[in-house]
Amino acid sequence: MSKFVNSIYQIHNNPFVLAPLFVEFFRHIQQKSKNVLLAYLVLPLVLHEDSKQSLVCAKITSSIQTFSNKKKNIFGLQERVRLYKYLTNQCLQYAMDNQMIKINENLIVEVLVQENKTVENLKESLKASANLYKVFRDLDVVAIYRLLGVKEL
């Protein structure tokens, strides 16, 4: 039974399928120093059903305060960040190996591809990933983590 569960986990949490979520996020986010650290928030926020629905409906006037006011969006976020950390590393590595993104010496992620191919059932997560920049806006990386209540990576 354990092999079966591991196989299902690997099918649903596949870096080949999830890497476009990062590309879409970094395509829209402002390039600032050490923004690669924001990648560790992408999967926990866009794959969690409650926060995904809030992000899909995010407007340009949305803020991190309005997002975090809905406690269901950030409940358990620290644990989700920890659970998705390894998968995030795999997705970033896959995206770099396939020339989708490039990380420069200031840890700024640059997007190298214009089109984004994704699986049909991830269309909503892709839109949430694209809208995540509206919530983060002009805040620096440390402030974003602090306001979301994430204390460690």
pLDDT of residue 152: 83
Our count of domains for the chain comes to 1
pLDDT of residue 3: 58
Rounded-to-integer distance, Cα 67 and Cα 74, Å: 8
Rounded-to-integer distance, Cα 117 and Cα 120, Å: 9
Q: Torsion angle, CA of 76/24/52/108, rounded to 10 degrees?
A: 30
Per the CB < 8 A criterion, the answer to whether 128 and 56 are in contact is yes
What letter would DSSP give residue 99? Answer: T
Per the CB < 8 A criterion, the answer to whether 70 and 135 are in contact is no
pLDDT of residue 151: 87
Rounded-to-integer distance, Cα 75 and Cα 126, Å: 21
pLDDT of residue 83: 93
Position 126 in a domain: yes
**What stretch of H or E contains 149?**
none
Position 112 in a domain: yes
pLDDT of residue 44: 94
Position 2 in a domain: no
pTM of the model as a whole: 0.88
Position 80 in a domain: yes
Average pLDDT, the chain: 85
Position 127 in a domain: yes
Position 6 in a domain: no
Position 89 in a domain: yes
Q: Which domain holds residue 94?
A: 13-148
Q: Which residues of the chain have pLDDT under 70?
A: 1-13, 117-119
Position 33 in a domain: yes
pLDDT of residue 119: 66
